[in-house]
C-alpha cells in the first residue's frame, strides 16, 4: 500500500468519524427524549405540599392494608373455629 493510499484512507476515516459521531449523538438524543420525559414524570413533583399529600395518601393506604390483613386474620380464625366445631376436636 502506498503512502498516498494510506493518507486518503485516514482522511476518509476522519471525515466519516467526524460526521457519524454527531449524527449518532443526535439520533440517540431524539430516540431517548420520550424516555427521559417519562422518567422526569415518574420522579414526581418537587413541591413540598404535593409531597405531603402523597405521604398522607400513602399512610392512608397502609392503614387500609393493615385493616384488610386484620380482617383476613379474623376470617381465617372463624373458619378454623367452625372447622373444629364440625370435626368435634378440641382446640390446642
Please provide the DSSP assignment of the chain as one string.
--HHHHHHHHHHHHHHHHHHHHHHHHHHHHHSHHHHHHHHHHH----HHHHHHHHHHHHHHHHHHHHHHHHHHHHHHHHHHHHHHHHTPPP-
Confidence of residue 90 (pLDDT cuts 50, 70, 90): low
pTM equals 0.43
Confidence of residue 75 (pLDDT cuts 50, 70, 90): very high
Amino acid at each position: 500500500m502506498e503512502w498516498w493510499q494510506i493518507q486518503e484512507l485516514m482522511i476518509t476515516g476522519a471525515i466519516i468519524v467526524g460526521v457519524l459521531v454527531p449524527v449518532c449523538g443526535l439520533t440517540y438524543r431524539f430516540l431517548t427524549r420520550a424516555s427521559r420525559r417519562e422518567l422526569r414524570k415518574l420522579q414526581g413533583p418537587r413541591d413540598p405540599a404535593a409531597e405531603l399529600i402523597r405521604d398522607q395518601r400513602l399512610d392512608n393506604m397502609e392503614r387500609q392494608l393493615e385493616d384488610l390483613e386484620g380482617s383476613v386474620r379474623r376470617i381465617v380464625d372463624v373458619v378454623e373455629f367452625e372447622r373444629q366445631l364440625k370435626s368435634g376436636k378440641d382446640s390446642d
